[in-house]
Amino acid sequence: MAKRFLENKRRPVADYDHIVFDENEVAALRAKLDLDTPLRVHWNWDYVTEIESLRKLYERGKVMQWDVEKDIDWSLELSTTENLMPIADSPMAGILQLLGRDDETVRRCIRDELEWSISQVLHGEQAALQLCAQLVNSVPQMDAKLFAGQQVVDECRHVEMFAKLLARKFGTVHPISPNIKYLLDEMVSADDWHKKTIGMQILFEGVAMAIITDIGKRTTSDLVRQTMRMVARDEARHAAFGVLTLRDELSQLDPIERDGLEEWTWMVLEVVANGLMSSLFDEVGPKYGLAPELLGKAVFSTREFWDYRYHLFNHTVMPNLKRLGIITDLTRRNYDTFRLLEDRAPFGTEMLPDHILFDA
């Protein structure tokens, strides 16, 4: 069996691993605010030589800056009489509807699901802010330092925007999922900038890009769609930075170091893939009288879930991992087990086209 994080916290549910923390462990993870992190500082005295691809990305970022207060129409309100997402796109709301719950309960559940998801994205943006500040110090090329510094500004804006969206329009910031907190601590504490870059720029930024884009395409709220569209434009550049920074680096690593990085990449992705929705069910489900284990059995056995997971990772993450050549015979069987390397979703569900969000 491949090495995995959190091996002793697995509970199989419908061919899926529910990663379970007890209440004390969750509290301890969330209370762990200070991390001892080894920080490598790399000076570079070459201010003239430019890496064309990275410099172009940096220049593009300079003209794509935006202001949270000025460029978001905060006069837009969230509807209290219409669903913020289609019922079919909300796993818990669909079950509540089948159980005969009233329309208002279903509507509140959809709002809570969306609020929880945006809260997790917000926590991830804070992690990206802190990790990119580390990358400024540790990446070797000057162009990489310039872009990482620019991304720090982007992440400040994202933290500001999601925090204001939740405070002004939703009302609650949900606590960070223990799965996410565990992985973010792992990345921020890593002693190698390659791990930090793959973990944040390729994996977390790629998943965030897919989630943000998906929310923006499916929501009925003009305000939520607008905020997701603005952030998605930034996230696309961030994921590209990870590929451009690492593509030549990985071939130069010692084989043992490179294999270790490939295995670590899978271990991070595996926890993300096995954490989908389970923390949502743990934390929001009981509010509506829904037992997390029963929710898992109902949702994780559906075709829609497996196709959703495929699309989530094949939107940005898997294409970028393939570009980097970080999936070899060493780990390919792991991705095959999750059916992530196939040419299409396991059950053929098509992903909504991105122009629904970006042309809106």
d(C-alpha 154, C-alpha 101), whole Å: 42
Q: What is the tally of structural domains in the chain?
A: 1
Q: What is the pLDDT of residue 268?
A: 97
Residue 142 within a domain: yes
Identify which of 343, 135, 138 has the alpha carbon closest to the alpha carbon of residue 241: 135
- CATH number for the domain including 182? 1.10.620.20
d(C-alpha 177, C-alpha 282), whole Å: 10
Which ranges of the chain would DSSP assign to H, the alpha helix? 23-31, 52-63, 68-71, 91-98, 103-138, 142-165, 178-188, 193-196, 205-218, 222-246, 255-275, 278-284, 292-299, 303-314, 317-324, 332-337, 355-358
Angle at 176 between CA 148 and CA 165, to 5 degrees: 75
**Per-residue pLDDT tens digits for 200-220:** 999 999 999 999 999 999 999
Residue 116 within a domain: yes
Q: What is the mean pLDDT of the chain?
A: 94
Q: What is the pLDDT of residue 357?
A: 81
Residue 274 within a domain: yes
Residue 19 within a domain: no
Q: What is the pLDDT of residue 351?
A: 86
Residue 22 within a domain: no
**Per-residue pLDDT tens digits for 171-182:** 999 999 999 999
Give the domain range for residue 230: 52-358
Residue 14 within a domain: no
Q: Are 2 and 331 in contact (CB under 8 A)?
A: yes
Residue 236 within a domain: yes
Residue 87 within a domain: yes
Alpha carbon distances (Å) from 48 to 44, 127, 139, 142, 143: 11, 31, 17, 9, 10
